[in-house]
Each structure stands twice: as structure tokens, then as C-alpha cells.
């Protein structure tokens, strides 16, 4: 039987993208963005409450003892969660960032912030510490070679002018208050350094792993305060001890994990910007819980600090227009020319 004539085939042409394939990437990106925003919101609320709890517990616990108690409670909770989820050790490449963030953020930051809050009120501490995002951008420009744009330098000048106003406003209350402002500035530097170190670690370990082992390293670094913790716990009222445990479970174990989750899904600069809301929340919480509000000059200085951070994180209008133009073709893909286009990163 003679062979049937072969079917004439048209030259191969790629099938047009389905509606689902066009929509899937934007929807997935939107979902990730919403999850990161939700995690950042939880972090901001819990960290704002931490300033108030530190101020309250600090009446009975010394700075180092409070930091150690908080970290031990946090490490215990995180360790149990790791066991339940069967999280192993993070990859070797994650450890340098975990160690540095553990020493700077979980260790040094907590001790000096506790000390600073014994000298100034919770609202003032939050206002000063929130120059951290500016320092974060400065460190990223220096260590990660991201450059030092003029807006960053201008924002730095504005923020430190605001910090000077805060320091002057507190000088009338004695040298102890000025020391408190300086300690809060040191806490901001430690916080920024910890975030810059943590970001690369999240490429090689989960948010839970990076948070848990960072907390453990911070606790080990604070072990020299163990004797003081035992002594303070014997004399402290129950309310102060409960505040310390609250700090360990919620603003540490939960909030640092939600922070790491969000940080892994966005940039360090954008995450730093989310903390702008913390000082306002702290002032409100400390007014309700502790009946303390910073003076007007202190508030003005703190707002100047935050304005400097905003300037440092802003983008020139031309850059924003270029970004919008780059996004437009992606959004218009269904109506674009049928010729294949390279995917946008």
C-alpha cells in the first residue's frame, strides 16, 4: 500500500501566552508583596511595644540582665519551634551573617538600648533609634559598594542635626539624659549593622534559622550578665519579670522572625523605611501605659531625624519616572505586539 502523502506542516510558531501565564507572575509577586507587608506590620507593632516594656522592666532589671533574660526566653521559644518544624542547621555560607547580626543586633543593640531607656523616655529612645535606616543605607553604600548618593549624604546631615536637637533638649535634665541619647544612637548603629549582615544570610538560611541562631549567639554574648540576672530576678516584682518574658516571646521570637521573613522578600532599605511608624506608636503607647510623653523640642528633633531618613530614602523624580516607564510594558503585555519580548527581571 503506497504511503499516504505526508501532512504538510506549517513552520513552527510558539503558541501565544495564555491568560493565566500572563497573570500568574504579577499575582504571585503581589501575593509575596502582601505577605511581606503583613509581616512587616506585625514587626512594627511588636517592636513599638518593646520600647514601652523595656522602659517598664528596666526599673527592676539592669541593662545586661534584661537583655540576657529576653534573649534566653526568645531562644527557648524559637528552639522549640525549630524542633517542631524539624529545621536543621543553616548552610555554612549563612553563618558569617548570622554571627555578626547575633552579636550586633541581638547582643549589643539590646544591651545599649536597655541602658539608654534608663536615661530617656521610651518615645525619645524610639525617635533617636530610628535614624537606623539611614545608617543602614550608609553601611550598604560602603560595605556592599552601592554608592553614596547626594540624597543619602543630605539625609545624614538632616538626621544628625535632629539628633543634636534631641540632645540639646535633654541636656536640661542632666548629663544622664545626654548619655541616654548617645546610647540610643549607638543602638541605631548596631541595629543597622545587624540588618546589613543579616540580609546575605537569608540567601542561605530560612528566616526561622537565621533568627533562632542569631538569638542564641546574642544570648551567649550576654552570658557574663547571668549572675546579675539571677540577682535581679530575686528582687524584681512579677510585673517586671512578665515584661521581660513578653520581650523574649513576642518582640524577639515572633517579631524578629516576621522581620527576617519580610526582609528575605524585599530590600533592606525598604524594610528600614517601614520602621518610620515605630516612634509615633511608641509615643502613643508610652502615653497610655507609662503616662510619659517627650517634650515639644524633643519631638521636633525626633521628627527632624525621621525627615532626614525620608530624604535619604527618596529618589529623584527622573528615577521614579524611569521606573514607572520600565513597569508599563509588563503591565501592558496582553495588548502588546505578538513578537516575543525578554522577561523583565
| Chain segment 224-254, per-residue pLDDT in tens | 999 999 999 999 999 999 999 999 999 999 9
pLDDT digits 0-9 by tens, 163-208:
777 766 665 555 558 899 899 999 999 998 998 898 889 899 998 9
Distance of alpha carbon 135 from the chain centroid: 13
> Three-state DSSP class for 147?
coil
Does position 154 have pLDDT exceeding 70, yes or no? yes
Which of residues 268 and 342 earns the better pLDDT score?
A: 268
And the C-alpha cell for 342?
525578554
Residue 179 domain-assigned (yes or no): yes
How many domains, the chain? 1
Q: Which of 111-115, 226-230, 257-261, 266-270 has the lowest mean pLDDT?
A: 266-270
Please choose, from the candidates 319, 338, 341, 318, the residue with its C-alpha nearest in 3D space to the C-alpha of residue 329.
341
Residue pLDDT, tens place only, 138-148: 777 777 665 66
pLDDT for residue 324: 41
Is 62 contained in some domain?
yes
Query: In this model, does residue 91 exceed pLDDT 80?
Result: yes
Phi-psi region of 145 (alpha: psi -120 to 50; beta: other; left: phi over 0): left
In a domain, 128, yes or no: yes
| DSSP-derived secondary structure for 239-285 | HHHHHHHHHIIIIIIIHHHHHHHHHTTS-HHHHHHHGGGHHHHHHHH
Is residue 151 a part of any domain in this protein? Answer: yes
Q: Which domain holds residue 297?
A: 40-316
Is residue 87 in a domain?
yes
Determine, yes or no, domain membership for 328. no
CA distance 249 to 123: 22
3-state secondary structure of 184: helix
120 and 279 Cβ atoms separated by less than 8 Å? no
Confidence check: pLDDT of 61 > 90: yes
Nearest-angstrom CA–CA distance, 163 and 301: 6
In a domain, 19, yes or no: no
pLDDT at 220: 97
Asked if the structure places residue 339 within a domain, the reply is no
What is the distance between the alpha carbons of residues 127 and 16, in angstroms, rounded to a whole number? 54
Q: What is the mean pLDDT of residues 110-134?
A: 87
What is the arithmetic mean of pLDDT over 10-29? 51
Does pTM top 0.85 for this prediction? no
Amino acid at each position: 500500500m503506497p504511503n499516504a502523502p505526508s501532512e504538510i506542516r506549517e513552520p513552527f510558531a510558539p503558541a501565544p501566552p495564555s491568560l493565566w501565564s500572563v497573570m500568574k507572575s504579577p499575582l504571585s509577586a503581589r501575593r509575596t508583596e502582601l505577605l511581606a507587608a503583613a509581616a512587616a506590620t506585625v514587626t512594627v507593632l511588636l517592636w513599638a511595644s518593646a520600647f514601652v516594656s523595656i522602659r517598664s522592666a528596666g526599673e527592676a532589671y539592669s541593662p545586661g540582665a534584661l537583655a540576657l533574660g529576653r534573649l534566653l526566653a526568645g531562644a527557648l521559644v524559637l528552639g522549640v519551634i525549630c524542633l517542631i518544624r524539624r529545621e536543621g542547621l543553616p548552610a555554612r555560607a549563612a553563618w558569617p551573617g548570622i554571627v555578626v547580626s547575633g552579636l550586633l543586633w541581638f547582643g549589643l543593640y539590646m544591651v545599649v538600648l536597655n541602658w539608654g531607656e534608663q536615661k530617656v523616655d521610651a518615645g525619645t529612645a524610639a525617635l533617636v533609634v530610628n535614624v537606623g535606616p539611614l545608617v543602614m543605607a550608609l553601611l550598604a553604600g560602603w560595605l556592599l559598594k552601592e554608592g553614596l548618593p547626594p540624597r543619602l549624604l543630605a539625609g545624614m546631615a538632616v538626621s544628625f542635626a535632629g539628633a543634636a536637637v534631641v540632645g540639646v533638649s535633654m541636656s536640661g535634665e542632666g548629663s544622664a539624659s545626654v548619655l541616654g541619647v548617645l546610647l540610643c544612637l549607638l543602638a541605631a548603629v548596631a541595629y543597622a549593622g545587624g540588618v546589613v549582615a543579616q540580609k546575605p544570610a537569608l540567601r542561605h538560611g530560612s528566616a526561622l534559622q537565621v533568627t533562632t541562631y542569631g538569638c542564641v549567639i546574642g544570648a551567649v554574648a550576654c552570658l557574663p550578665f547571668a549572675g546579675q540576672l539571677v540577682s535581679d530576678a530575686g528582687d524584681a516584682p512579677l510585673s517586671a519579670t512578665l515584661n521581660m518574658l513578653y520581650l523574649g516571646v513576642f518582640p524577639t521570637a515572633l517579631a524578629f522572625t516576621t522581620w527576617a521573613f519580610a526582609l528575605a522578600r524585599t530590600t533592606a532599605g525598604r524594610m528600614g523605611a517601614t520602621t518610620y511608624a515605630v516612634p509615633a506608636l511608641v509615643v502613643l503607647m508610652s502615653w497610655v501605659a507609662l503616662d510619659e510623653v517627650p517634650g515639644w523640642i524633643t519631638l521636633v528633633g525626633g521628627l527632624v531625624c525621621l525627615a532626614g531618613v525620608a530624604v535619604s530614602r527618596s529618589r529623584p523624580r527622573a528615577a521614579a519616572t524611569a521606573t514607572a516607564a520600565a513597569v508599563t510594558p509588563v503591565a501592558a503585555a496582553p495588548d502588546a505586539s505578538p513578537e516575543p519580548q525578554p522577561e523583565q527581571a
